[in-house]
Amino acid sequence: MYIFKSKEELQKHLAAFSKGKTIGFTPTMGALHLGHMHLIEQSNLKCDISICSIFVNPTQFNNPNDLAKYPNTLTTDLEMLENVKCDIVYNPPVNDLYVKGEKAKSYDFGSLTTILEGEFRPGHFNGMATIIQKLLNIINPTIAFFGQKDLQQLYIVKNLAKQMKSDTYIEGVETVRGKSGLAKSSRNKLLSENAKKEASLIYNCLNYCENNKAIGVTKLKSHIQKEFLKNENFTLEYAEFVALKTMLPIKDWEAVNQSAVCISAYHSGVRLIDNIIL
């Protein structure tokens, strides 16, 4: 496994070794878990070369405390990537991707950013899109792999690739979950074992929506709100039913697999998000 700290060295290596080969790319901020490994495995299956970036992007944190608290587990991350047979890791310092004082670009993603994470994390998606655009331009992958857990991000990146006129195909990969249904997330490391058990409430609500779709959006939303009120350790930030193509709220279901239920909630001060496509 090759590890590069500079984009020039990475590009030099790719120019020498990637001719005629397909490149799979998984961008991460480290603190890797089984969900990330699943993305690399998909990349290994579908591409000749698998690249993973590890870079904690400062421009997508609207809360400086979140940036300061973000876990740094680089040694373990690299071991995990080696075990899953990742070919290349790009782990640059900030000054390899940003010039001093550089801010996030401003993008127009239309309705995709007006609610959910866009509402509760102002500036987040501009920062995310800024770094993804830089990484896609540096690596020029055949396929870039993104987890479905960050559903809004996935659809924004698809839109970004169109705006860039990029040849990279953006592939969404199904969320990896623990036995309790809790979605794998870097933030889970901040939860106690008891909190992780209680956090299965999120998936239980999503599962209920899947099994009771026929009762309609309004009743399902009410059910989620009532379930969260029963648990004093949880604060529900949002439970929203949206159309996938626009990320706008719906009152009735779209076509099959064109709607999603998205939940954000706090447990023990840790913010957790999840969703299910219906």
Q: For residue 219, which amino acid is it? A: K
Q: What is the DSSP string of 121-151?
A: STTHHHHHHHHHHHHHHHH--SEEEEETTSH
Beta strand 259-267 with 234-243: parallel, antiparallel or unpaired?
A: antiparallel
**Whole-number Cα distances in Å, 56 to 59, 85, 137:** 9, 22, 18
Backbone angles phi, psi at 195, to 5 degrees: -65, -40
List the catalytic residue out of 36, 38, 124, 267: 36
Query: What region, left, alpha or beta, does residue 135 occupy, with left being phi > 0 and alpha being psi -120 to 50 degrees?
Result: alpha
Residues with Cβ within 8 Å of residue 174, at least 6 apart in sequence = 148
Residue 53: partners with Cβ closer than 8 Å, 6 or more residues away: 25, 26, 27, 28, 89, 90, 91, 92, 135, 139
Angle at CA 254, nearest 5°, toward 248 and 256? 130
Provide the residue type at 78 as one letter. Answer: L
To the query of whether residue 38 is one of the catalytic residues in this protein, the response is no
Residues carrying an active site annotation: 36
